[in-house]
Structure formats: structure tokens, C-alpha cells
Amino acid sequence: MKTALFCLFENWENDYQKAITDQISLVCYAEKLGFEEAWLTEHHFNNFSVIPSPLTVTSYLLGKTKKIKIGTAAILLPYYNPIQLAEELAVIKTFDKDRFLFGIAKGAFPIYDKTFKTNALTNREVMFEANELIHKLLKEDNITFHGKYFSCKDITIRPNVKREFETFIASQSIEAIKKAAENGYGLIGSLAICKYEVENIFDLYNKLNPIKPLSFRLARGINIGYNKDEIIEEAQYCADIFLQSMIASKDTNPALVKLLTNSEYLDIRNKLFDKNKILENSICGTPKECIEQIKRLKESFNIETLLLKPLTKSSKRAKKVLELYVKEVKPYV
């Protein structure tokens, strides 16, 4: 099982520049520790998780690092022009040395749809169609495409290196699992996804695609130390702050009332950002306890990469947690 850093670019000190540069520094430190991957989220209009442009940081990190793979978890495709995005990805492919991992999602916040003029009810369809067009543009010439949401005629993007890249869908929906099985894509499980839900993902994927094993990334909060009470207290605090930042999407704004009452949106939001679920499924405690928690995960299903999100209040503490994981946990799991 490989290890990755899950990056939220948290603004603990109310300093946007420091939030971004600290996260970049942590990715570089994770590479020195032997982490194989780092995954960057995409969040908009958020004072705490400051990462509205993951591809910008991805490009920078690919140039700054040497071995670690950099993934997006995830690019919110409904908010992009797929032709322009395909061009950006094509540029990245010229220098990434196969270290870029393309993760996509449909988005889950009403404020995004209101601002970017998208529709919550069709975002999943838009995501799939945009992804299909992007892959065609990256691999073929003279593309003519007539979809429900996008179209183009006789388009060839440049540069076009015509190289495959790994694609992942950050979703546990049946539609996403089917699309992954059909195309051999990987899947990314959220911080709050439980063991039962992961088992369901594997069961459905394996039924639909018994030939190619599922490439699965699982995100988990993590905090390691020797005083369990202090570790749990810090983890709870960090999960609470993260939760508040993610669901404070202007719920009191009357213009958003209609979208906020959409049952699918509320269900997605509650599943993804439930503090109790994040804590229940996190890896927290002494090194010995964390070893046992990870072993139980590995016994249940084949996780290709574990995405670790330090539940810590500072970059300094996050580095310490990563050190403890590498020295006192990873060798024994």
C-alpha cells in the first residue's frame, strides 16, 4: 500500500500566502519522507481551505519535486471549459514525466453553482461528458464532438503528446462506479466514507469489471502521538473547523434557499463533511493504535494508496505526525 498526503491548504493563521506556501512545503517534506503521492483538493470562496486553482499548484509542485506523483482530488469539471482544460492538461503532460494523476468530481456546494451558473441536477452528466471530450482531445486529432452539453468541430489541440494519464473519480455514486469500471478509471474515497461503503464500491466495480482491479485511493484524517487524550482533542478540533468551513456556504443567504433544500445536495454534503464520520474513520492515537487501525483497513479491501490528511493545527505539527507515521507506523503495516 502506497502513502499519499491529502492537501487542503488550511488557513490556520489567517494568512493566505502562508496557507499555500506551508502546504507546498509539506508536500516537499512528504516527498523526502518517502511519500509516493500528494493529492490537492479544489475549494472556492473558502477562508479556511484556500485552494481554488489546484492545477496552478500542481504545475509548480511537478517542477519543484522529483519523484512524488501529484494528483487532483478533485478538479470540479462542471466549472471548466473542457477544451481549454484539455489544453492545460496537455501542457502539463509535456513535463510531468507521468507523475500527474487526474482526479475529477462534480462539486457539491450550492454557492458554486450559483456563481458559475451550473445546475446541481445535471453536474454529474456534465462531468462525464466533459471528461470524455478531454480524453478525446488529449489522444486524437481532428475531433468533432456533439454532446448534450459540449460540442466542437475538427479541433486538434496543441501541444498533443498523445500519452495516457491515470484518471480517478472522487465519488461513491453508482454512476461513478459504473463509469470507472467501464473505462478502467480509479476511484477516490472521501475522509468520511466508512468501511461498509467502500466494500460496496469494490463489490459493484468487480462485478462490472472482473478483469482490471480497481485502483482505489482512500482519504483518512490522521493524528499520531503518545498522549491519546491530546491527540483526540486536537483531531476533534481540526475536524470541527474543517466541517464549519465547508458547510458555511452562506446557508442564510435567501438566494440560495432553493438550492440548499435540494435533497441530493444535502445528502452529499452531510456524507462528505460529517464531523463524526470523519473522526470515526480517522487514524488517531498512539503509533501502536494507528498500526492496528490501518491493518484493519488493509484486511478489508485492497487500498492502492492511503491519502493522509493530518488533523493538526499547524504545519509544524503536521510534519511531526508524518514523521511518526513513517518511522513508527508504516514499517509495520
Q: DSSP letters of 71-100?
A: EES-EEGGGS-HHHHHHHHHHHHTTSTT-E
What pLDDT sits at residue 198? 96
**Pairwise CA distance, residues 101 & 108, whole Å:** 21
Does pLDDT of 234 surpass 70?
A: yes
Does pLDDT of 99 surpass 60?
A: yes
- 167 vs 47 pLDDT, higher one: 167
Does pLDDT of 270 surpass 60?
A: no
Q: How confident is the model at residue 330 (pLDDT cuts 50, 70, 90)?
A: very high
Does pLDDT of 259 surpass 70?
A: no
Range name among 10-14, 74-78, 236-240, 302-306 with the lowest pLDDT average:
236-240
Residue 118, sorted as left (phi over 0), alpha (psi -120 to 50) or beta, turns out to be beta
Residue 34, sorted as left (phi over 0), alpha (psi -120 to 50) or beta, turns out to be left
**Pairwise CA distance, residues 333 & 330, whole Å:** 5
Does pLDDT of 267 surpass 80?
A: no
Q: Could you write out the DSSP letters of every residue in 26-44?
A: HHHHHHHHT--EEEE----
Residue 251 main-chain phi, psi, to 5 deg = -60, -25
Percent of the chain with pLDDT over 70: 91
Segment 296-323 shows an average pLDDT of: 96
Does pLDDT of 269 surpass 60?
A: no
Q: How confident is the model at residue 111 (pLDDT cuts 50, 70, 90)?
A: confident
Does pLDDT of 193 surpass 50?
A: yes
- 64 vs 280 pLDDT, higher one: 64
Domains of the chain, start order: 2-332 (3.20.20.30)
Segment 205-231 shows an average pLDDT of: 96
Does pLDDT of 253 surpass 80?
A: no
Please, are residues 9 and 41 in contact by the beta-carbon 8 Å criterion?
Answer: yes
Segment 251-265 shows an average pLDDT of: 42
Number of alpha carbons in the 13 Å side-chain half-sphere of residue 320: 12
What pLDDT sits at residue 162? 87
Does pLDDT of 297 surpass 80?
A: yes
Please, are residues 171 and 187 in contact by the beta-carbon 8 Å criterion?
Answer: yes
Mean pLDDT for all residues in the chain: 91
- 135 vs 256 pLDDT, higher one: 135
* Beta bridge partners of residue 75, listed in sequence order: 104
Show Cβ contacts of residue 116 under 8 Å, excluding neighbours closer than 6 positions. 78, 79
pLDDT tens-place string over residues 274-286 = 666 778 899 999 9
What pLDDT sits at residue 280? 86
